Chain A
Amino acid sequence: MAGKYVLIVDDDPDLVETVAMMLESKGFEVGKAYDGLEAEAAIKKRCPDVLILDVMMPRKNGYQLCKELKSNKWTQDIPIVMLTAVGDAVPNTIYSHAEGMALEAEDFIPKPVDAATLVEAVQRLI
């Protein structure tokens, strides 16, 4: 997977660090961003081969960013894996799971993320 670039976006820096460590150990090049706006800027600088996107984030959440990327002809082909705890652990927040599923992300992986599952999902989308 040398040269393949994965951008990880989550407002939990410890989660970003751990996912980055996992992917780097498999030979991926990894970029990090900590909210939706920062991710936008990072994508403008370098288009990722896969985007790993959290849902709940400040400034711009993952659903908003996913929607915008998929409706832009320059970014609509970026494969997106959404990491979500929304399905089970956080049922009563503003982040509706149904809303998320209606988006066109390529994959949804519930947290906690098994390393093998995540790497497999990323490899499948490249």
Chain B
Amino acid sequence: MERKIERSRVGGLKVLEGGACLVASFPQDEGRLAERVCTPLALNRINLSFFTHMASDREVLCTASRSGEAAFTLLRTQAGSEAAMHLQPGTAILSLYPHDKRPEIIGNFILSLAQSRVMVHGLGSSPAAISVVLPSRKVKAAVNQLFDNFHFPAFSSPQEFFAAQSPPEELLRQVVASYQEKVTKVYWIVPQPDLDLWGLNVSSTDILAGFADALLDLGSLGLQIPFLVALPGLGGKEFLLSFSTYAPQPGGERGPEIRRILKERLPDLRPIRLTPVASISLHGPHFGDRFGIARTLTVALEKAHISLLALSCTISTISLIIRQYQLAAAQLVLVQTFAAPVEVSTPAAAGPGHEYETG
């Protein structure tokens, strides 16, 4: 039976058209994200308007259409024989905000994509937004469906929304700035400790409907989802999903309940849980319009031997997930690498006491 979804009120939508999407996998090169991916792109001044990474060595990168072929060639040159890559031209990035870390908003967004039969090339999140990379020709259908599932105070209809969009060249004229910083300026570096990281490997057909349903159910637990990425497998037969959960109310282990809900909605999968992990969000001016930010970040972390479990860059933030015992070291590295005020947290774990669970 089809679930009845309440129409949620959210702030708005952003559409970034004219992109190309590159899905890459470097199975022999885990831990060399900076060298294999970020550095060649940065040196060739290729902006990443969307970027996700998982420790299992997979990446989804989006860039302007005109740079897609160049990005593909650069990464292919760097890659070993085990690498696999796929370039998809004619893509767009559609973002909805704010999700307020609420599973039901994120679930409803993903459900809208399923209902509009959109092929998802990747999902990523920022502190405020959830973003999807999709074929440009499906943007209209997806936006129409989002207006059925959400209420946007600034626009009464999809037509009104599209009519208000500035031509891309005008946006560029307003935004492109002469950033000449010697040290990249970041507005905030915000850590969040005490998260669980969940990893799932699901079939493509299940992801949209089944996972959206699971998220809607997770909303009833009062949990937050501060981070989510999804990457397609290169054969088109699977989707890798990674998301973090946070329980704002102390008291009680929520892992078994989360696992039960995932099993109910996606019975064939075996979720992996890693705990405790921490996230760090770096929010900066026009990160998606400036090349080299991801390179600066990944080079600094790799030099400090801090392993990225997952990364998502969309809107104007790069969010990363690391093991909690590395949080203090990572914050120190980032403060030394970027010019930014830092929000201080008190990581609970002092040593590598994380644990993996499968079920």
Interface residues of chain A, those whose CB is within 8 Å of chain B, are 12-18, 21, 32-35, 37-38, 41, 56, 58-59, 85, 89-95, 111-115
Contacts and interface: CB of A to CB of B under 8 A. Distances in A.
Contacts of B317: 14
A14 B316 CA distance: 7
B128 A93 contact: no
Contact of B186 (A21, A37, A112): A112
B187 A34 contact: no
Interface of A is mostly: loop
B84 interface: no
Nearest to B100: A17
Contacts of B11: 13, 16, 32-34
Contact of A56 (B175, B187, B340, B343): B175
B12 A34 contact: yes
Interface in B1-32: 11-12, 14
A89 B340 CA distance: 15
Interface size class of B (residues with CB under 8 A): 35 or more
Interface in B159-212: 164, 166, 173-175, 177-179, 185-188, 190
Given A58-B166, A111-B285, A115-B343, 17 more contacts: A12-B315, A13-B11, A13-B97, A14-B315, A14-B317, A16-B98, A34-B11, A34-B12, A56-B174, A58-B164, A59-B164, A85-B285, A89-B177, A90-B177, A94-B174, A111-B187, A115-B341
Interface string B293-318: 00000000000000000000001110
Contacts of A112: 185-188, 285, 339-341
B128 A14 contact: yes
A89 B179 contact: yes
Contacts of B186: 112
Q: Which secondary structure characterizes the binding site on chain B?
A: loop
A-B pairs with the 8 shortest C-beta distances?
A13-B128, A13-B97, A17-B128, A112-B187, A90-B177, A14-B317, A38-B154, A14-B128
B262 interface: no
A39 to B, nearest CB: 10
Contacts of B316: 12, 14-15
Contacts of A15: 187, 283, 316
B252 interface: no
Nearest to B185: A112
B63 interface: no
Nearest to B129: A13
Contacts of A89: 177-179, 185, 285
B177 A41 contact: no
B103 interface: no
23 contacts: A13-B98, A14-B128, A14-B129, A14-B315, A15-B187, A15-B316, A18-B190, A33-B11, A37-B154, A56-B174, A58-B164, A58-B166, A59-B164, A85-B285, A91-B177, A92-B178, A93-B174, A94-B173, A111-B187, A111-B285, A112-B185, A112-B285, A112-B341
A91 B128 contact: no
A17 B317 CA distance: 11
A113 B285 CA distance: 12
B127 interface: yes
B126 interface: yes
A85 B177 CA distance: 10
Contacts of B14: 13
A6 to B, nearest CB: 16
Given A35-B154, A38-B154, A112-B186, A18 B283 contact: yes
Contacts of A95: 174
Interface in B104-130: 126-129
B12 A14 contact: no
Contacts of B154: 34-35, 37-38, 59
A90 to B, nearest CB: 4
B353 interface: no
B178 to A, nearest CB: 6
